[in-house]
Structure 1
Amino acid sequence: MKPIKDHKPYQILIVEDNLGDYTLIVDYLEERFESPVISWAKNFKDAKTILTDSNIKCDLILLDLTLPDKSGEELITEIIQLSHEIPLIILTGYSDINFGIKSLSLGVSDYLIKDELDSNSLYKSIVYNIERKKTLLQLETSERRYSDLFHLSPQPMWVYDIETLRFLDVNLAAEKHYGYSLQEFLGMTIKDIRPEEDIPELIERVEFLNQTKGSYSMGTFRHKKKNGEIIYVEIQSNTLPFQNTTGRIILANDVTERFTYIDAIEKQNEKLKEIAWIQSHVVRAPLARMMSLIDIIKNYGIDDNDNEKLLTHLLESAEELDIIIKDISRKSEGINLNKK
């Protein structure tokens, strides 16, 4: 039963100086691929010409270790430099098997022994390494996007080790906002940016988060900058694998201005309450006396004997009321409800 052929139009470069080996490889390819696009380079010079030609696309390279103009490690190194992330499979003989294994450390995707080669093993290696390379490139792209989102974020961000509490990575916004350099941060723990009296609460919260299944967390805490300034910070965090350990990524939003504004409003409200109390209690006493005196004068009249005494009491109450009004005015001047 003939194997089902792969219909994907893979473009494969064979770098092989031996016509017999080249013909055999082509036969194997055509046995498993419906319409492979094959390019042939008989030496390194031809391979370089093909790989530097922008009009020629290549999905994978099959490379013989020994060419007339270049061989061995030097050949592999230069082909890799020209290949631009194209998967490279080494074709080697038994005498080169040890070097074939070593070549994996140079960036080679796979190595195949020529004498054991058949259409199935060649097909599996080609498809596996092409798809593997695509997956690695997607992963690298994803990591670059994460790095850009992290390091270029306008909000301070960092990652710390959930066990040691040491900073593992810090973005530029955090460096600028807290005043520490990256190297300084990497020599610190998250305890170093907390006021001394808040550290017990920090340890307790970290232990709680480490024991809790849910990884997301948020809250508002006090932080300390390098210059000693205390700020209020709204924290959002989540756990993630990082550098062979488990880290917690932090997004920090400085809300000190908001806290300051709320505190100012609360103090202003206290002053307003005090003024309201003065108006409803303190003002009432001299005002009531003045109204009583005026009522006496209006309804009963005054004679010369009482005139001076009544007027004196009226003046005293007026002066007391004037002092109270001035005190209210002074307290009112300290209130600025438009403060931002």
Structure 2
Amino acid sequence: MENKPINVLLIEDSPGDARLIQEILAEVQEARFNVQRADRLSEGLVRLGEGGIDVVLLDLSLPDCHGLDTFVKVHANAPMVPVVVLSGLDDEVLAFTAVREGAQDYLVKGQVEGNILHRAIRYAIERKATEEELRRSEERYRSLIESAVDAIFTMKLDGTITSLNPAFEAITGWSCSEWLGRSLWDILHPDDAPAAKDLFEAFFRGEPLQPYEGRVQSRSGEFIVLEIRATPQMEHGEVVGFFGIGRDVTERKQAQERLQELYEREKELRQELAERTAQVEDAYLKLYQLDQMKDSFLSTVSHELRTPLTSIKGFAEILLSYDDEDKETQREFLTIINEESERLTRLINDLLDLSRIESGRMQWQTSKLSLQEVIDTAVNAIHALSAQKQLDVSVDVQPDLPPFWGDKDRLVQVVTNLLGNATKFTPAGGKIGVRAELVKEGEPPNLREVIRVSVSDTGIGISAENRESIFEKFRQIGDTLTDKPRGTGLGLSICKEIVQHYGGRIWVESEVGSGSTFYFTLPVADVVEQRGSGVQGEGEEKIEQELGKVILVVDDEPNIRKFLKHELASRGHEVIEALGGTEAVQLARKHHPDLITLDVDMPDINGFDVTALLKSDPGTKDIPILIISVVDDKERGYNLGANDYVTKPIDGKDLMEKVATLLTRRGESKTAPVNDDRTLVRTIATQLKSKGFSARVTGGEDETSNGQPPSADSSTEPNAA
């Protein structure tokens, strides 16, 4: 406005008043004014008709017109031009009336200053421009509503309809006048109205308004499906009503229903086809698995039997063929024969031990034991081998360790296996340490005292990927550049089974090149009751296989946690508690419990998401998860990896049976063979994968994870057990 002159039409019959106003405008510094004067209304109207006027300064008392009629005529001839009324002291009321009728402002003659007049003119122009823009906006808005193909309505808070557009008539056949003043709930189908009311009531509880599909009966009696979207109408910060749009989606809904019918039929056909295909594949896979199991067993056992038998047979033939062999040579050959015989004995014993443990037929000669005696026996067993490599073997047993329950021969077997591995993988002149101490395990209030035994060495160490699977059956770890592992790889797996049988746990800490430390724990005698000796029969309860475990209980309800803790602790288990999903994930990764009981409906992360997180984490994927929830969605739980599912309310006996079953099965699901014969390795891996286990071929230049048996659908691989 300041960059170009403002065209002012001054309609004033008094020369003195006109001259005064012109002088005042000339003195204004902030703007330039181009003032044109008319001393008659008729003359002013002519000038207005020519255009180009930005604002009118109007005296209401003119020779040819007087009073409010003066403004009315100016406004009628130039409604778009802002008018500022000039009044005398005696007609100020009249000027104010003109403002109410549409004049932008009024000024009293004799009291006008430059800044005041300038501001009045500027505000008048701006207000008029704003009013004009508002008018055009309202016209556009009205045009859009009138031409819209969707029904548009407004209603009061109680649902009373206050306006409807023509599209409502086109869609429903009802005239707008028939429904103005009536309730929206009356036009909806009786079955749909309550849900619509609920949406609006939810809005007043702070929830956003959601789209809604409801049926509306047309004049012809048919029901039309309208998709209704509403927004609140606000005045002075308060909701006074609603603005809504209703779109006819009847054809779309009918098409969706037809598509759904077709989809359901297709789904049935696909399911039927999948079932029949699965039956064929299952029959084929079972035959294939049986064949592969036979080949795998024969290959593994053949490799471990033929090697020592070859040595025994070869040296025996030498001794039989030569009568003049010196005594020293004979002793050397007989020593080799004896060592290979012991190797065969260990192989057979390992196979039999694992079979007995897994089948529940192991003889457990349980008694109260001293750990010092167990460790001394194991150290003496490997003395010859450690002395041959000049290894420094140290033993540090904490004085006055409490006794514990166990089978002496089996626990000696555990320590001997760990010492044997340490001796095998520690270079000559290295160190091996055996340590036993009483420690606290778990977190308050679930602390318990256990005896922890560790066997450390200064050997080659174990890589991170092998630490995950070293306790699996048939897994062998060795330095393939300097040492070829021998045996079936059952030693550590048997150690794990023995330790877990007595309620303990076993693990390893190691870095490549920095040696290894194997740990295992055993509950003290006053914590775990003595377990019975003898053979476990089929009719007996397998309590020893699931006592003394660490169980993570996850539930945000304290009473549920208290119940579960009581039931589990009364059976000898250590219980760790988590109040929510986030804490559950953290505790599972920290403590690696033997079992997790998991609620679904929790405030931070729900149980399904926790299951997905733990089952996708290599460090926790093998922990059994028992979901306990009011949410009956077993299919989803199983698909995410849950091992079992119980719905609340809980049957205590049934729950404890499921806990016992899962604890008994723990550790039987994954196997990974390690062998230098690539063909044999692939054969074993193929057989394992075909049974649903996780197998990975490693080492060599062609590292791969292939090995699944051929099937009708080669992209489908059985899930890990």
Q: Measure how far apart 1:93 and its partner are.
A: 0.7
Q: 1:73 to 1:26 in 2, by over 3 A?
A: same
Q: Measure how far apart 1:242 and its partner are.
A: 7.5
What are the superposed Cα offsets for residues 180-216 of structure 1, whole Å, 9 maximum, x if unpaired?
A: 22222212121122112222222211111233364x5
For residues 230 and 144 of structure 2, what CA distance do their matches in structure 1 show?
Answer: 15
Give the letter aligned to residue 151 of structure 2.
P
Find the residue that maps to 1:202 and give its secondary structure.
Answer: helix
Find the residue that maps to 2:110 and give its secondary structure.
Answer: helix
1:31 has 2:24 as partner: no
Correspondence for 1:41 = 38
For residues 26 and 275 of structure 1, what CA distance do their matches in structure 2 show?
Answer: 93
Q: Measure how far apart 1:267 and its partner are.
A: 4.4
Q: Quick one: higher RCO (CA 8 Å, sep 6+), 1 or 2?
A: 1
Correspondence for 2:11 = 15
- 2:105 maps to which of 97, 110, 117: 110
Give the letter aligned to residue 208 of structure 1.
A
Q: How does 1:102-251 map to 2 (within 5 A)?
A: 102-161=97-156, 163-212=157-206, 214=208, 217-241=210-234, 246-251=240-245
Q: 1:144 to 1:247 in 2, by over 3 A?
A: farther
1:94 has 2:94 as partner: no
Q: 1:52 to 1:272 in 2, by over 3 A?
A: closer
Correspondence for 1:60 = 55
**Which range is displaced more, 240-249 or 100-109?**
240-249
Give the letter aligned to residue 60 of structure 1.
V
TM superposition score normalised by structure 1: 0.72
Gaps of 5+ in 1: 280-340
Q: Would the aligned equivalents of 2:189 and 2:214 in 1 still touch at CA under 8 Å?
A: no
Give the letter aligned to residue 47 of structure 2.
I
Q: Measure how far apart 1:247 and its partner are.
A: 3.0
Q: Would the aligned equivalents of 1:179 and 1:225 in 2 still touch at CA under 8 Å?
A: yes
Q: Measure how far apart 1:48 and its partner are.
A: 1.3
Q: 1:8 to 1:185 in 2, by over 3 A?
A: farther
Q: 1:231 to 1:266 in 2, by over 3 A?
A: same
Identity of aligned residues (%): 27
For residues 226 and 218 of structure 1, what CA distance do their matches in structure 2 show?
Answer: 24
Find the residue that maps to 1:97 and give its secondary structure.
Answer: helix
Q: Would the aligned equivalents of 1:62 and 1:88 in 2 still touch at CA under 8 Å?
A: yes
Correspondence for 1:334 = none
Q: Measure how far apart 1:46 and its partner are.
A: 0.6
Q: Would the aligned equivalents of 1:13 and 1:39 in 2 still touch at CA under 8 Å?
A: yes
Q: Measure how far apart 1:278 and its partner are.
A: 11
Correspondence for 1:69 = 64
Q: Would the aligned equivalents of 2:149 and 2:167 in 1 still touch at CA under 8 Å?
A: yes
Number of aligned positions between the proteins: 272
Give the letter aligned to residue 225 of structure 2.
Y
Q: 1:217 to 1:149 in 2, by over 3 A?
A: farther
Q: Measure how far apart 1:268 and its partner are.
A: 5.3
Q: Would the aligned equivalents of 1:60 and 1:87 in 2 still touch at CA under 8 Å?
A: yes
For residues 278 and 36 of structure 1, what CA distance do their matches in structure 2 show?
Answer: 89
Q: Measure how far apart 1:234 and its partner are.
A: 2.0
Q: 1:276 to 1:42 in 2, by over 3 A?
A: closer
Q: 1:144 to 1:245 in 2, by over 3 A?
A: farther
Whichever structure has more helix as a proportion of its residues is 1
Give the letter aligned to residue 8 of structure 2.
I
For residues 54 and 206 of structure 2, what CA distance do their matches in structure 1 show?
Answer: 47
TM superposition score normalised by structure 2: 0.35
For residues 266 and 107 of structure 2, what CA distance do their matches in structure 1 show?
Answer: 86
Give the letter aligned to residue 238 of structure 1.
T
Q: 1:15 to 1:273 in 2, by over 3 A?
A: closer
Give the letter aligned to residue 42 of structure 2.
K
Q: Would the aligned equivalents of 2:58 and 2:85 in 1 still touch at CA under 8 Å?
A: yes
Q: Would the aligned equivalents of 1:52 and 1:82 in 2 still touch at CA under 8 Å?
A: yes
Q: 1:156 to 1:34 in 2, by over 3 A?
A: closer
